[in-house]
Amino acid sequence: MDAFSRYKHNHMLRLITLLVILLSVIQGAYANKNSTPVQVVQGQVTDAESQQGLPGVVVMLSSDKAKHTITDSAGHFYLEQVPVGRQTFEAFMPGYKPGIVPEVLISAGKSAQLQIALVEKAEQLQDVSVTAKRNNIRGENEFAGASSRGFRTDEMKRYAASIGDPARMAANLPGVAGSSEMSNGIVVRGNSPKGVLYRLEGIDIPNPNHYGKLGGSGGAISMLNANAIGHSDFYTAAFPAEIGNATSGVFDLRLRNGNAVRPEHSFQIGTTGAELSTEGPLRIGNNASYMFSYRYSNPALLTRFLDLKGIVPSYQDLSFKLNIPSAAGTFTFFGIGGANNADKHPGKDSTRWNEENPNFLMHGKGSMGIAGISHQMYLKHQDYLKTTVSFSRENNMEQVDTLDPSRDYAAVAARNSRLENQNLQLNFVYHRKLDAANTIRTGFNIRHTGFLISEQRPSSEGNIETVLDERGSTQFINAFVQWKNRISDKLTLISGVHTSVFVMNGRYSVEPRISAIYQHRKHSFTMAAGLHSKPEHLSTHLLKKQPFWFGYIRPNWNLDLVRS
């Protein structure tokens, strides 16, 4: 074959290939024009108080009542042919108030999961006409009276500049503001960001943010992956009695269950890095599932789009959950973890040092991880026991030096800090629904903390002094009891008491809580009051000073709990 024939042959192959691609595009466009992409929606409907699955509940699509299904004996449902986009779902069952889940984002690439909790009617009537009402404010916890808000994964992505971060999302809510542009710490009703608490699966966890500060609750980037978070709550005041160790706000987070019907895998890449997730059923029990999600940052891309003042960051994090229902109860294995580092070098040229590139050499790294196992066992139809054991570890190190041009840019120590914490927790909850109008819940949490804290920083004389160099352990104990009394379908009263003890210095607190909810047609009126407290960070209590007339003292050792 001569050169011209080869050229003609290759040219024909290109034309044929282009024609096939063009026909495929036209066929796909024609198919999409005549059909709407659909997806599967699955989930569970439970009793709001007892958390038992409800069989026989009708779950339907609000925009098309013909698309409906009925829950099985465990309250699970599977609804097919749901159009993609934002959809609203309704759930109905005799003897319960109708439930509604508004504006759920249904995407073509992944099935959606719903968790619907129905409230039993306090007053049973023989003939009832029901209309679903939207309640997009109240949290998932039925003991939350006021100042609580539930949120889902898609809501974490809807707010401006939230980038899938629950804290940045919360900064858009009334009474909440961001503390700075470079941190997701939040100010709730004027209180310090240090008073914000994060909880995961019902237990307190360390600060789940990359590049967090000692004793703070914020950081530059959240370790919490929005695609792994299930229906969660955010509180701005008057927390339920089961929540302590917070004076400002509380994120009560839950990881979502994996897809218990079919495996799903996804990969995403963006300006800040890549994300890989996998989920699916486990063949060790009915409706058992797994979910893993891993993220890794790309610092080269990050520094190209953001001005980080010469600091080169890198981070990665992992979230996972295994949910295993069995005849002996439901076992859940869960965890999140992350690691990060950041480096900065001003360069060995003092003429280039300025406000944008100050003279300091920094190396910092941090990590946080928590893993736990919980067992929820139903004793009777309306009672359950939930026991959770968890272990967490927090490690942060930061070294800051300056460069001395007169000594060939030798490094001069400016600050050095190190923190290591290990927490072992035992959490126990007993819940009983006495009847349709009365529910009680009680429990306790014991946390054992081992710590190593050291810090060196410049003194008033210009020398480097050691202000912290401590290793030891302590305990923090919480207990609570709360009662919910639905006086009528319109009026609900919630009361309780929370108590906490900081074993290190013997300080304790007894905190009564009370709230009332009045439902009038489409409007809800709430009123709540309570006392709250938390200990200062360990570094504050362990701080040492040396007066000129004798040795070291700890002026903050007997500090009382911070109260609000």
pLDDT in tens, 90-124: 998 888 888 888 888 888 777 888 888 888 886 65
Has residue 548 got a pLDDT over 90? no
User: Average pLDDT over the chain, rounded to whole?
Assistant: 83
Most confident of 227-241, 375-389, 411-425, 502-516: 502-516
The pLDDT of 19-25, averaged and rounded, is 53
CA dihedral sign of residues 205, 206, 210, 216: positive
Q: Which residue has the tokens 């310090």?
A: 192
pLDDT for 8 equals 46
Backbone angles phi, psi at 213, to 5 degrees: -100, 160
Return d(Cα 98, Cα 55) in angstroms, integer: 15
Reference 451, options 419, 425, 488; nearest CA is 419
Please give the pLDDT value at position 262: 87
Alpha carbon distance 311, 384 (integer Å): 50
pLDDT band at 540 (very low <50, low <70, confident <90, very high): confident
Residue with tokens 């300080």: 507
Question: How high is the pLDDT of residue 509?
Answer: 95
The pLDDT of residue 553? 79
Q: How far is CA 177 from the centre of its chain?
A: 18
Answer positive or negative: Cα dihedral of 242, 244, 249, 253: negative
- Name, of 276-285, 324-333, 404-413, 465-474, the range with top average pLDDT: 324-333
The model's pTM is: 0.83
pLDDT of res. 7: 42
- For residue 152 the two structure tokens come to 């889902």
Q: Is the pLDDT of residue 302 over 60?
A: no
Q: Are 44 and 75 in contact (CB under 8 A)?
A: yes
Judge whether residue 189 has pLDDT over 90.
no
Distances (CA, A) of 114 to 145, 230, 317, 325, 395: 23, 9, 25, 17, 36
Write the CA distances from 314 to 142, 365, 535, integer angstroms: 40, 9, 32
Contact 508, 127 (CB under 8 A): no
Position 134 pLDDT exceeds 50: no
- Cβ–Cβ < 8 Å for 496, 143: yes
Model confidence band, residue 22 (pLDDT cutoffs 50, 70, 90): low
pLDDT at residue 551 is higher than 80: no
Q: What is the pLDDT of residue 291?
A: 95
> What is the pairing mode between strands 250-253 and 197-200?
parallel
**Percent of the chain's residues with pLDDT above 90:** 33
Report pLDDT digits (tens) over 443-453. Answer: 999 999 999 99
pLDDT of residue 543: 81
C-alpha closest to that of 115 among 203, 276, 229, 235: 229
Higher pLDDT: 258 or 466? It is 258
Is the pLDDT score of 229 beyond 80?
A: yes
Where is pLDDT greater, at 231 or 389? 389
Query: Is-contact 59 70, C-beta < 8 A?
Result: yes
Q: Which residues contact 233 (CB under 8 A, 6 or more apart)?
A: 139, 140, 141, 144, 148, 149, 150, 151, 250, 251, 252
Q: How confident is the model at residue 5 (pLDDT cuts 50, 70, 90)?
A: very low
Average pLDDT of the residues in 434-450? 93
d(CA 488, CA 501): 37
Q: Which of 144, 172, 108, 361 is nearest to 240 (CA)?
A: 144
Q: Each residue of 482-531: pLDDT tens digit?
A: 999 989 888 999 999 999 999 999 999 999 999 999 988 778 888 999 99
SS3 content of the chain, % helix, strand, coil (to 5): 10, 55, 35
The strand pair at 250-253 and 264-270 is best described as unpaired
At 31 the pLDDT is 47
